[in-house]
Amino acid sequence: MFRSLLGIILWYLRPLMKWFLRKTTRLCELQRLCYGEKAGAPRSLRVENSLLQSRSGDIKNLIVFLDRISDGRKFIGTNKDSITHYAIHTVLRVKKINPQIHPQFGISFAKCIEHIWGYRQLIQEVEVLRTTPYDANNESHETKLLTLWELMMPSVQLESRVTKQWQDIGFQGDDPKTDFRGMGLLGLENLLYFAQEYPGPASHVLSHSHHPQYGYAFAVVGINLTSMAYHMLKDGSAKSHVYNVSQGLPTIKVFHHFYCYLFYEFDRFWIEAKPRNVMDFSHIREKFENTIRLSLSKPASVFRINISIDNI
């Protein structure tokens, strides 16, 4: 009751405050954010919020347009430049900003647009991978799977395509194809990226997974962490990190990086939690997720894999 009342008051108060600040600073809210907030998540998150609250018809139409473009994954290449240009132009016109006097505004604002709608586009891209089921008849899928083996177990030859050896890298049975399930190709691409881009940390984590007491199924846990990364991306929690690490459009690599960080950190968290056995996974996973979510709730959060730890 109190909160809804506060909401109503703020709804009326906001334009008044904006009008007051506009008169005193001679800048609109978007300008104040672009000049006053630090580039990255602190700025892009607030610009996003400001745009979404806008009551201007033109801005509302612009948002609908940008949503459609990014949902169709068309916010790329030369298209991208003309779209950001159009977005800047719309705001300059609606907010009556003179680009000659404010040349920096357009540049900063364009970055925000790339962050906000690039993120939305990234969700689509990740969703396409996730909804592509692992297909043992698809040669490119099979190649990726075999490459994962070679990277994780460089000194061991795979005896055949269907073999118990898969359990050594943490698949459940003789054939990994049934383990990807709801995460589809995304689960495999994530694991492969970890093995390819962070060979040291990946083999470090794999060796932990073979520990007699603290051991776990490497690939299966990896697929569960794909699910965690995916949900954090999808519900918007990962925005702070993604906006902070992306110079321009967030790409799929940013998502893979985020996943690698989660895997590396989860392994550490798991060992430190001293689990009795693998049955402790659910609740340690939950604790870990809460810790990550807490970090992500801070606009300044940036996750980087701390390799130095790995060498000790």
Partner 1 sequence: MVQTIAVDLKKSHIIGDLQSPKMNFTIEMALNDQGRKGNGLLSILRKLKSQPDKELRLLLLGLDNAGKTTLLKKLASEDITHITPTQGFNIKSVQSEGFKLNVWDIGGQRKIRPYWRNYFENTDVLIYVIDSADRKRLEETGHELEELLMEDKLANVPLLVYANKQDLLHAAPASDIAEGLGLHTIKDRPWQIQACSATAGEGVKDGMEWVCKNIKKK
Q: How far is the CB of 64 from partner 1 (least distance, A)?
A: 27
Q: Which listed range, 3-11, 58-66, 72-80, 221-229, lies at the site for partner 1 (CB under 8 A)?
A: 221-229
Is residue 165 close enough to count as binding partner 1 by CB under 8 A? no
| Minimum distance of partner 1 from residue 179's CB (angstroms) | 5
Q: With binding defined as CB under 8 A, does residue 147 bind partner 1? A: no
Q: Which of 56, 104, 163, 178 binds partner 1 (CB under 8 A)?
A: 178
Q: CA of 172: how far to CAs of 142, 261, 280, in Å?
A: 17, 23, 17
Listed ranges 3-11, 105-113, 272-280, 303-311: which one lies at the site for partner 1 (CB under 8 A): 272-280
What are the backbone dihedrals phi and psi of residue 106, each rounded to the nearest 5 degrees, phi first?
-60, -40
Q: What are the structure tokens assigned to 106, written together?
A: 């357009």
**Helices and strands, number each (H, E), in the chain:** 14, 0
The nearer residue to partner 1, 29 or 179, going by C-beta atoms, is 179
Alpha-carbon distance 37 to 34, whole Å?
A: 6
Rule CB under 8 A: say whether 205 interacts with partner 1. Answer: no
The H-or-E segment that residue 150 falls in is helix 139-152
User: Which is nearer to partner 1, 33 or 221 (by Cβ)?
Assistant: 221
Cα–Cα–Cα angle for 120, 141, 289, rounded to 5 degrees: 45
d(CA 54, CA 95): 11
Q: What single DSSP character describes residue 38?
A: P
Interface with partner 1 in residues 226-265 (CB under 8 A): 226-227, 230-231
Binding residues vs partner 1 (CB under 8 A): 167, 172-173, 178-179, 181-183, 187, 216-217, 220-221, 223-224, 226-227, 230-231, 277-282, 285
